[in-house]
Amino acid sequence: MSKMASTRCYVVMVLSIVVISSMMASCGANLFEDLNLTWGDNRANISNDGQLLSLSLDKASGSGFQSKKEYLFTRIDMQLKLVAGNSAGIVTAYYVSPEVATHDEIDFELLGNLSGDPYILHTNVFTQGKGNREQQFYLWFDPTADFHTYSIIWNPKHIVFMVDESPIRVFKKAESAGVPFPKKQQMRIYGSLWNADNWATRGGSVKTDWSKAPFTAYFRNFKATDLSSTVLESDKIDLKKLRWVQKNYMIYNYCQDYKKFSHGFPAECKINP
Ligand SMILES: *[C@@H]1O[C@H](CO)[C@@H](O)[C@H](O)[C@H]1NC(C)=O
Ligand SMILES: *[C@@H]1O[C@H](CO)[C@@H](O)[C@H](O)[C@H]1NC(C)=O
Ligand SMILES: *[C@@H]1O[C@H](CO)[C@@H](O)[C@H](O)[C@H]1NC(C)=O
């Protein structure tokens, strides 16, 4: 090896170590390793050396991904940057669900809107086939301007939905009250971008503006942390933050929907904070 070559090699090595260690410090694992692009052909893409996943939607199709692994009791973190501008009719979904068997699902759906009008963060929990547990929120930031972290903490005691480390919703295990809790089936993580202009924006009255297509949403820093044995830390809920979000940003709560449940509210409504 000539001196030139070995010097160059050394510089490259030092640079790679700096790059790799800064990546490990600030980024999640490589998305190529954790996620499979499963829908929409090249509308779904992983770029930036596995650090960024994009999903696009045009008139012909949306797109989506799923995790390679399945999880039983886990904390999922994902950063999302949503479709900017006129995103009416478009839904960015991010949820966990088992592949087969009885339907359990923990669900984030972000419902787009006309430019300048607020997105709605729609959440739902299905256990043993039973859903109808919608809660909806406005966000306290513009979800299209930058990445924000949307997390699901699913441990043997509860499910907590979080946005930027603020709990927004808690679903406690309450089997003694007859409320089933997901605890047996492993679940996969799914993400998708799709057209739902028959219901998503103001009940379907505002349609997707296809002249603005393709629409693109971005995902990064996926992280799954096993919670099957380390319950303690994930048991803590910042109730002050939870109340702040629910008081100021919750716009729909099925547990207060007297019309829908005129014959009485589901049992979990008395249990969850
Ligand atoms: C997908 O990402 C790769 C880099 O991983 C890039 O070369 C390619 O152009 C992208 N494709 C599309 C359709 O954006
Ligand atoms: C992910 O993709 C790989 C390669 O195409 C395939 O072998 C594997 O079964 C896929 N897994 C899931 C969960 O989609
Ligand atoms: C869209 O904006 C309107 C008007 O501000 C609002 O009522 C609605 O909740 C917003 N979100 C969706 C998804 O419709």
The string of DSSP codes covering 101-147 is SS--EEEEEEE--STTSPPEEEEEEEBTTB----EEE--SS-TTTS-
* Residue 79 C-alpha from the chain's centroid: 8
* Catalytic annotation present for 233: no
Q: Name residue 111's amino acid.
A: L
Q: 122: CA distance to ligand 2 center in Å? A: 29
Residues 6+ apart with CB under 8 A from 178: 267
- State the number of CA atoms in the 13 A half-sphere of 225 facing the CB: 15
pLDDT category of residue 141 using cuts at 50, 70 and 90: very high
The pTM (predicted TM-score) of the whole model is 0.88
Q: Among 31, 32, 47, name the best residue to mutate to test ligand 1's pocket (greatest count of ligand atoms within 8 A of Cβ).
A: 47
pLDDT-above-70 percentage for the chain: 88
11: confidence class by pLDDT, cuts 50, 70, 90: very low
Q: Taking residues 23-47, report their average pLDDT.
A: 83
Instruction: Kindly tell me the burial class for residue 55, based on how many C-beta atoms sit within 10 Å of its own C-beta (0-12, 13-18, 19 or more).
Output: buried
> Domains of the chain (ranges plus CATH)?
28-270 (2.60.120.200)
**Mean pLDDT of all residues in 200-211:** 95
CA of 68 to the centre of ligand 1 (A): 20
Which of 201, 205, 206 to mutate to test ligand 3, by most ligand atoms within 8 A of the CB atom?
Answer: 201
Backbone angles phi, psi at 108, to 5 degrees: -110, 130
Confidence of residue 230 (pLDDT cuts 50, 70, 90): low
How sure is the predictor about 100, in pLDDT bands with cuts at 50, 70 and 90? Answer: confident
Annotation says 268 is catalytic: no
The rounded Å distance from CA 90 to ligand 2 centre is 27
In this model, does residue 10 exceed pLDDT 60? Answer: no
- Please report, as a single letter, which amino acid is at residue 213: A
Q: Hey, how many other C-beta atoms are within 10 angstroms of the C-beta on 120?
A: 20
Return the structure tokens found at 64. Answer: 């989506």
The number of the ligand 3 atom at minimal distance from the alpha carbon of 112 is 13
Does the pLDDT of residue 13 top 50, yes or no?
no
pLDDT band at 14 (very low <50, low <70, confident <90, very high): very low
Distance CA 207, CA 201 (A): 8
Inter-CA distances, 195 with 6, 90, 151, 199, 235, Å:
55, 5, 23, 10, 36
How many other C-beta atoms are found inside a 10 Å radius of the C-beta of residue 12?
Answer: 10
- Identify the pLDDT of residue 211: 97
In whole angstroms, give the CA distance from residue 53 to residue 45. Answer: 6
Q: How many residues does the chain have?
A: 273
Check 105, 134, 175, 233 and give the catalytic one.
105
User: What single string gives the DSSP state of each residue in 137-198?
Assistant: E--SS-TTTS-EEEEEEE-SSEEEEEETTEEEEEEE-BGGGTB----SS-BEEEEEEEE-TT
What pLDDT does 231 receive? 60
List, chain by chain if needed, residues with CB within 6 Å of any ligand 1 atom: 42, 45-47
